[in-house]
Amino acid sequence: MTETSINPAIFTWDGPHGLPRFEAVKDEDFKAAFDFALAAHEAEIEAIAGNPEPPAFANTIAALEIAGDELSRVSALFWNKAGADTNETIQHLERAISPVMSRHYSKIGQNEALFRRIDALWQARENLGLTPEEMRVLERHWKGFVKSGARLPRAEQRRLAEINEKLSSLGTGFGQNVLADEKNWFLPLSSEEELAGLPGFLRDAMAAAAEARGEAGKYAVTLSRSIIEPFLTFSDRRDLREQAFNAWIARGENPGPTDNREIIAETVSLRAEKATLLGYPHYAALKLDNTMAKSAGNVNTLLMQVWEKARRRALEEEADLARLIAAGGGNHAVAPWDWRYYAEKLRAQTYNFSESELKPYLQLERIIDACFAVAEKLFAIKAVRRTDVAGYHPDVRVYEIRDTNGNLVALFLGDYFARPSKRSGAWMSSFQSQHRLPLKNGAKGEIPIIYNVCNFAKPAEGRPALLSLDDARTLFHEFGHALHGMLSNVTYPSVSGTGVSRDFVELPSQLYEHWLTVPDILREYALHHETGAPMPAELLDKVLAARTFNAGFNTVEFTSSALVDMAFHTRPPGGDPMVLTAEVLAEIGMPSSIVMRHRTPHFAHVFSGDGYSAGYYSYMWSEVLDADAFEAFMETGNPFNPDTARKLKDNIYSVGGSVDPEDAYKAFRGKLPSPEAMLKKKGLAA
């Protein structure tokens, strides 16, 4: 394989400001590019490991930080495609390349000569005159090699490499199965009787979804959250709600080739074996090492503290819904496909407004503007749309992020609409991370190129995209992650942006959600899509008053998922994963009217890769931090207090993983928080 036989556009990003020229890359180009990049990275690693000079931070750690540029570029392009716009060609290569990548990194992590150099630096670290950031980077590399089995006997190293390779393949299969179930199921509706109760915005979205699936003139219920949740909220047809709900929760559990249950069982077993090989009592202990939580015991203590309050509140909410059903002449208990429907009716009664009344004020375009406006107020950066620059899909928008002097800080891409080729959920990722190291191409450092992916229902041509309040929060959440990447100001790429511990990474995103409901922001940006009028003060007051409505349901949905995740990774493996799931839910007293937010067969956070395994709790851990962090602003009487915002940027958003997360938070706030502010925010403090 020679460099001339591959598409240079994969490695040479010469679009505006160094953006990839996406249109120049074809699906068929990736295989050759991966082959070349893997070989190039291996050669760089061998050169570092075999360097005849004594190990030094510059010739070992800094060299590792910039090695593999070609592999980073092809990987960034490919995994973006695999998540946001996949097809059979990409999925076939994804299944093939996942184990190859695993073998590649296992080989690096078990390179004896390389580890000797890193270990020598680690043992002498106090005498090397390292900066605090360099010490963090050295620690990250040393611990990474130890967890890759660098200190294990050869036979155990080989077994660990086999486990990692298999886990990589299993995670890929899991994710593809969930996507297949989501893509293949939809419920076409046509009669007014079938559409009873559905507001106009939802009918528009369902009509567009039906047309995209070859059912022009009909309305499609899909398993995209931005359609299925409002359908469950508004449809008067209980039988259709049940049918759609059961399809939604069955993702990954349908008999046949997309059934994930065996994948889960094998994944859990292999993870437990991996932890044992590395000297940990269970997989959660391995994953929680080097996090703020420290141990599974600490995690479960927090989760159960919240669970008891949330369950008690949820049972009270269920009783309220049951009374509403009975008052309407119903003679059935509250089923999971009933909850959203009757909760919406109860909210309309209690607070005298409904989601359908609110939604016309939450236009996607205006909420995006609100996201950017908050960033400008807090961090003095401005987003400039580049309509002349192509993204990786026609729906993708490209922005320059500039400071008050007009200097380019970052590039941001927004990909907001659902499509069958995109996996569900919402996420932030990067094509390129910020750093200041010199590269072999002569450049010194790189600006961050960050993107957000969401799955909002795409409206019919000429109609505005209207969001639910949860959708709007999701948009703010993901842009909070994006800001973490774009405001990064570090030297080394491994600690750039979101390169922090799992239970700290959600702080910048969850904190950013708070500014969505700051009254000044809603007054300015929540404008009616037809009249342009701002949200009436009376409706705004109701929205703010209802922020903790249904808090028991929402918290039970999340916390049960987090507890099941921890059980899978602390208890002995073996047996049917659905049996373990049922046992855990029975132990904690899961209400029969509520289902886990992510049922085990489609729990992609935990089983489609390793990102949030034994780590789903981290959303709540970070929620403790974000509630306290926003209090720092409210204590000043100004949600945009410039001094507090400066401390937030300097100590949280810009330092990445270059500072210990506890030290970073204390530098911002002066102390670590207790869960009380979080419980208060949820309305569960009493």
**What are the residue numbers of the active site?**
478
Q: Residues 135, 125: contact at Cβ < 8 Å?
A: yes
Alpha helix positions (H), 597-670 = 604-607, 618-634, 642-648, 661-669
Q: Which two tokens stand for residue 303?
A: 């989760």
Please write down the HEC assignment for all residues of 355-412: HHHHHHHCEHHHHHHHHHHHHHHHHCEEEEECCCCCCCCCCCEEEEEEECCCCEEEEE
Q: Phi and psi (nearest 5°) for 609?
A: 100, 180
Helix (H), strand (E) at residue 586: helix 577-588
Helix and strand counts by DSSP (H, E) for the chain: 27, 9
CA nearest to 85, candidates 29, 14, 27: 27
DSSP helix/strand/coil, 639: coil
For residue 275, give Cα distances in angstroms to 284, 285, 288, 342, 352.
8, 8, 11, 45, 53
Quote the crossing angle between the two packed helices 618-634 and 296-327, to the nearest 10°.
80
Count CB neighbours of 526 within 10 A: 27
How far is the C-alpha of 234 from the C-alpha of 75, rounded, in Å?
A: 42
Count CB neighbours of 519 within 10 A: 15
Q: Residues for the chain: how many in total?
A: 686
Q: Is residue 3 exposed (0-12), middle (13-18) or buried (19+ Cβ within 10 Å)?
A: exposed
Residue entry with tokens 């590019």 = 33
Q: Residues 358, 539: contact at Cβ < 8 Å?
A: yes
Q: How many CA atoms lie within 13 Å of 303's alpha carbon, on the beta-carbon side?
A: 26
Q: How many CA atoms lie within 13 Å of 654's alpha carbon, on the beta-carbon side?
A: 13
Handedness of CA 131, 133, 136, 142 (dihedral sign): negative
How far is the C-alpha of 471 from the C-alpha of 477, rounded, in Å?
A: 10
Q: Is residue 583 exposed (0-12), middle (13-18) or buried (19+ Cβ within 10 Å)?
A: middle
Q: Phi and psi (nearest 5°) for 450?
A: -115, 145
Q: Residues 192, 160: contact at Cβ < 8 Å?
A: no
DSSP helix/strand/coil, 417: strand
How far is the C-alpha of 244 from the C-alpha of 222, rounded, in Å?
A: 8
Residue entry with tokens 């000043």 = 636
Q: Residues 659, 489: contact at Cβ < 8 Å?
A: no
* Greatest pairwise CA separation for the chain in angstroms: 84
How far is the C-alpha of 63 from the C-alpha of 279, rounded, in Å?
A: 30
Q: How far apart are the first and last CA of the chain?
A: 66
Give 455-473 as a DSSP string: EEPPPPTTSPPB--HHHHH
